């Protein structure tokens, strides 16, 4: 499973990228606001840091305006994926941009039917939001499973980009189901390395090592 980093903070991206933990980046208007940066400037910087796709989101609501914004964003770098909302206008924009050879990430997906429509118009990625479904007592992982089944049934190339990842269990379960990509905040990716028994075992090793009185360096 590929890891996309869900942030517009370049220092956090650089750290994970250096470790080989960053296969791409996703941004959105909320993350741009949090960074305090100009959208075009920070997107260009991020796209120059990583080899994989960098999702940059349109803010228009009408298809023709989304297309115009998408074309401008796509000119920033070759690895830009234009992010459009899962609306009828978003689908229209996706179809046009995809036909022009632009990577398109259809976001705010909350149903398998929406994911099917996105695949039909040529989306590169579909972004189902797990955590937001969990917030309203619907199991977001069931949606990932449903989309995986539908895409496999018909051989769609659209990649499932599991989004709104809130926990390390979300990450694990998405990998088990077969999501192509997960996008998560840096802190969630880092927490995947943690386990109480690892900490306990390391503590015991260090105490025993101290008793030997030895040094390696």
Catalytic annotation, pick one of 62, 75, 83, 120: 83
Q: What is the pTM of this model?
A: 0.94
Helices within 50-195 (DSSP H only): 63-74, 88-99, 112-120, 130-135, 140-154, 168-177, 186-191
The residue behind tokens 């989309």 is 147
SS3 string, 97-115, reads HHHCCCEEEEEEECCHHHH
pLDDT band at residue 16 using 50, 70 and 90 as cut-offs: very high
Is residue 56 classed as helix, strand or coil in its secondary structure? strand
Please name each of the domains of the chain with its CATH number: 2-212 (3.20.20.70)
- What pLDDT, in 10s, does the model give residues 76-123? 999 999 999 999 999 999 999 999 999 999 999 999 999 999 999 999
**DSSP letter assigned to residue 22:** -
Nearest alpha-carbon partner for 160 in 112, 199, 201:
112
The bridge status of strand 24-26 relative to strand 181-184 is unpaired
CB under 8 A, 24+ apart: contacts of 146-154: 146/112, 146/115, 147/112, 147/115, 148/177, 148/178, 148/179, 150/112, 150/115, 150/116, 150/119, 151/115, 151/119, 154/119
- What pLDDT, in 10s, does the model give residues 148-187? 999 999 999 999 999 999 999 999 999 999 999 999 999 9
Residue-level pLDDT at 169: 97
83 is catalytic: yes
In Å, the largest CA–CA distance within the chain is 72
């Amino acid at each position: 499973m590929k890891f996309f980093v869900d942030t517009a903070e370049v220092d956090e991206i650089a750290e994970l990228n250096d470790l080989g933990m960053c296969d791409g980046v996703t941004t959105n208007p909320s993350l741009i606001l949090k960074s305090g940066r100009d959208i075009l400037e920070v997107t260009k910087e991020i796209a120059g840091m990583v080899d994989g796709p960098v999702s940059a989101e349109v803010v228009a609501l009408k298809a023709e305006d989304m297309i115009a914004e998408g074309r401008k964003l796509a000119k920033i770098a070759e690895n830009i994926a234009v992010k459009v909302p899962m609306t009828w206008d978003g689908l229209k924009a996706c179809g046009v941009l995809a036909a022009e050879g632009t990577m398109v990430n259809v976001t705010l997906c909350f149903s398998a039917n929406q994911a099917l429509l996105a695949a039909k118009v040529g989306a590169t990625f579909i972004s189902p939001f797990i955590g937001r479904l969990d917030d309203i007592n619907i199991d977001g992982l069931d949606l990932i499973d449903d989309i995986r089944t539908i895409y496999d049934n018909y051989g769609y190339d659209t990649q499932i980009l599991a989004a709104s990842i809130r926990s390390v269990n979300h990450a694990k379960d998405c990998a088990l189901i077969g999501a192509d990509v997960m996008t998560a905040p840096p802190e969630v990716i880092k927490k995947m390395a943690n386990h109480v028994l690892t900490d306990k075992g390391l503590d015991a090793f260090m105490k025993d090592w101290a008793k030997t009185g030895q040094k390696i360096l």
